[in-house]
Structure 1
Amino acid sequence: MMPDRRAALQQTSVPTFAQMLEKVRYEGAYPTRERAEEAVRLVVAGLGRQLTGDERVELAACLPHEAARILAEQIPDTEPLTGWAFVKDLAARTGASLATTRWDTGSVLTTVAALAGPELLTRVLRRLPSGYALLFGRAELPQPVKEAA
């Protein structure tokens, strides 16, 4: 019975898309809700092209319905991008500067991180190539070196 209960609690704690946009608008200091929505749509779609596996499904469940749909509609890329390449790809898609795109990415992904929670975010970051932790508002921790057997 616990998984059903946890799912019910999680569903009730998911904010509306409007609430998510207001949080992104506040965090990113965007002048309008429309500008915040542009950033959310761009970055969440980009994340949907990078993330696969159970983490993708679980993350979608933490997002408002509209954002979850944007994430889930994307076909994952066959070659995952590093965090910096992710920002450059988003900038190329919009024609925006790298600085503006980096700002948009951080504003949206820190909100996504708050919605996901620390445990899921840790798993998401393990699935993605290097360079995403800072985009989500976390320190980039070095990976332990594996010794040859």
Structure 2
Amino acid sequence: MRWEAFLAQVRERGEYASAPEAERAARVVLALLGAHLVGTERAELAACLPETFELILLNPLPAVEPLDPERFVRATAAWIEGATEETAKWDVGAVLSVVADAAGEDLMRRVLLQLPPDYDLLFGRPRRV
């Protein structure tokens, strides 16, 4: 996916007033996500993203412990100036839903297997029962 297309989708879904706002959210969310993924899935997911975001996803050190979805949102809020947990939830959903679209169903299924339960909701992909 190209940079402009990725950011345009994040901006639209997040209803951001500017591209820099969308980019800021994408950088934070992808860095946090990258710390929670390993192996082939992380590399394959990164390859679906524009180069700058690919590097952001690949570069973080692994998380010491996995964050459940609620803590992931709180961590996002802590890294985005002026964010609250509510606005961070919006940021996470905007970015991760675009990532999920870029990745496709098979890769997303494998990515979600690496993450704690209920991350499917953050990606806008509720698991079917």
Q: TM-score range by the shorter chain?
A: over 0.9
Q: List 4+ stretches of structure 1 deviating above 6 A.
A: none
Aligned length: 128
One-letter identity of the residue aligned with 2:50: P
Matches within 5 A, 1:13-24: 15-24=1-10
Q: How many percent of aligned residue pairs carry the same amino acid?
A: 45
Which of 138, 141, 149 is the matching residue for 2:125? 138
The structural deviation recorded for 1:130 is 1.3
Partner of 1:106: 93
Q: Which runs of 5+ in 1 are unaligned?
A: 1-14, 143-149
What's the TM-score, normalizing by structure 2? Answer: 0.93
- 2:37 is aligned with 1:51: yes
1:93 paired with 2:93, answer: no
Superposed displacement of residue 89, structure 1: 1.3
Deviation at 1:94, TM superposition (A): 2.8
Shift of 1:31: 0.8
Structure having greater relative contact order (Cα 8 Å, sep ≥ 6): 2
> Are the counterparts in 1 of residues 47 and 54 from structure 2 also a CA contact under 8 Å?
yes
Larger radius of gyration: 1
Match of 1:26 in 2: 12
For residues 110 and 121 of structure 1, the distance between their equivalents in structure 2, rounded to whole angstroms, comes to 11
Partner of 2:66: 80
Match of 2:50 among 64, 68, 72: 64
CA distance in 2, matches of 1:140, 1:43: 21
Q: CA RMSD in A?
A: 1.3
